[in-house]
Structure 1
Amino acid sequence: MGEGSDQSAVKKGELMFSAQMEVLQYTLFCDDVPDTWTKPAYPSTHSFFLWVTDFLTRCQELDTWTQGLVLPAVVRLSGLFYLQCFLTAVRQSRNNWLLDKVCSTADVAKKDQRGV
Structure 2
Amino acid sequence: MNRALIVLAIVFMTLAAGCASDTTYSQSGTATVATCPVKILSHEMKVDEFGNYYIEGIAQNVGDKRLSYVEIRARFYDADDTIVGSFLANTLDFDPGQKWKFKIYYLGSENPAKYDIGIGSCW
With the length of structure 1 as denominator, give the TM-score of the two structures. 0.26
Larger-gyration structure (1/2): 1
- The structure with the greater share of residues assigned to helix is 1
Normalized per residue, the structure richer in strand is 2
**Relative contact order (C-alpha < 8 Å, sep 6+): which is higher?**
2
